[in-house]
Structures are given as structure tokens and as C-alpha cells.
Amino acid sequence: MRQIVLDTETTGLDPAQGHRIIEIGCVEIVDRRLTGNRFHRYLNPEREIEEGAVRVHGITLEELRDKPRFADVADEFLDFVRGAELVIHNAEFDVGFLDHELARLGDGWGRIADHCRVLDTLKLAREMHPGQRNSLDALCRRYGVDASRRELHGALLDAELLAEVYLAMTGGQAALTLEAGAPSAAGARAAAARGERPPLRVIRASAEELEAHRRRMAAIEEASGGRAVWKP
């Protein structure tokens, strides 16, 4: 299964008011393993960035004047995500902006739903942890994901953090070095966060071990003068 963990940064909060995407960050997961494949672009929004947005992500218009427009990277972006499941935290926000950008390109580009499936990890987290804080920062703390680099929001960094959180939330990444069938560390953290115990491995005694145990118990009983408390 191919999944793309995606995040965006924008000039403001509402595309209906003309706000635009200024950064797209994507990381690829195939069969629950991070592949190292990424899509990351800064974009010239051709408009001012609200001061409140700059305080969140730290990106100014001056830094973006020589960057490509969304129209310049749209084909490359869609080629990267097409057919995958997009994993997005608060997907309504990012998908709304992406659909707005595609609509600006004219007919024939469709919507994100025409190219990908979408999984909203905010909705998933609210189902798993009702009544608790489920921001990305809160989930990083809950699942033991190191977010110390996250002084400001950034699309690629947030996508990388969300990928780790998502794998932990949904059972942990498949173990690389542990014995087959043993729970991974991420899986154990996820189970602990859900208030569950990880599955225990059951090892049954062999016939030789059972016979050795019987002889040992008989010797203890004889040494006690027949007063063994485990005997009826």
C-alpha cells in the first residue's frame, strides 16, 4: 500500500479569501515503511502573506519571490501523489487549499479526490483519544516522537513528524531486527498510549522441561517432610 503524508503552509487561513499555498511537503510510505522519497517545494503565492501566518511558519514573501508558482509544479505534484492515500492532519484545511489551487488552473485538473484517497489523522486521533488534545505537538508527546526541531511550522518537517506519529498510532512500523512476531517499540508505545498492553509471546515448556520440573518439585516435597503447600 502506498501512502503520502502531506502538509502545507499558506498565506492565511481561507482560500475563499484568495489565500494561497506557499509550501508543500510530502513523504512516502510503502507497506508501512518510509521509503525516503519526498516531494518538497516552496511556492511564490503572488500575494502578501498575513502577519499571523508568518508568525506560525516564519516564511516571508521576500523569500518566495524567486520560487515557482503552483502552476509550475502542479503536474509534478500530481504525478507524485496520484493513486496513493494521502495522510493529512486536519485534512479539510490542506485539501481545501489544494482544490482551490487546482481550480485556479482551469478545467481538466479535477480535485484532490479525483487523484487520491484521503485519511485525516486528526479525525483518527479524536476517535482514539476522545476529550484529549490531538494537535500534532500533543500527539508527538503522546507517542514519544521527538519534535524538538519544531520551533516553527514547516510543511516537510511536519509531514515527517506526522509520518512517525501515524505509524505509531496505527500499530507501529514493522520491525527490522526484532524476531518475527515480536511487537516493535513503536507498536508498544502506541498500545501504551491507547491504554492497552502489547501482546505477550507465549513459550510453552517442552516435555523434558516438564519432567525436570516434576522431579524438582518431588525433591522439595521430600525435603519438607511432605508439608509442601501446593499439594492438596
The answer to whether the CB of 140 falls within 8 A of the CB of 168 is no
83 — alpha (psi -120 to 50), left (phi > 0) or beta?
left
What is the C-alpha separation between 154 and 152, in angstroms, rounded? Answer: 6
Q: What amino acid is encoded at 40 in this protein?
A: H
Instruction: Tell me the residue ranges of DSSP E strands in 54-169.
Output: 85-88, 117-120
Q: What amino acid is encoded at 164 in this protein?
A: E
Among candidate residues 40, 89, 100, 153, the one labeled active-site is 153
What is the C-alpha separation between 26 and 164, in angstroms, rounded? Answer: 13
Residue 203 burial (10 A CB sphere; 0-12, 13-18, 19+) = exposed
Strand partners, 42: 23
C-alpha dist (Å) from residue 227 to 71, 115, 212:
87, 76, 21
**Collapsing DSSP states into helix, strand and coil, what is residue 9?**
strand
Q: Is 153 annotated as catalytic? A: yes
Catalytically active residues, by annotation? 153
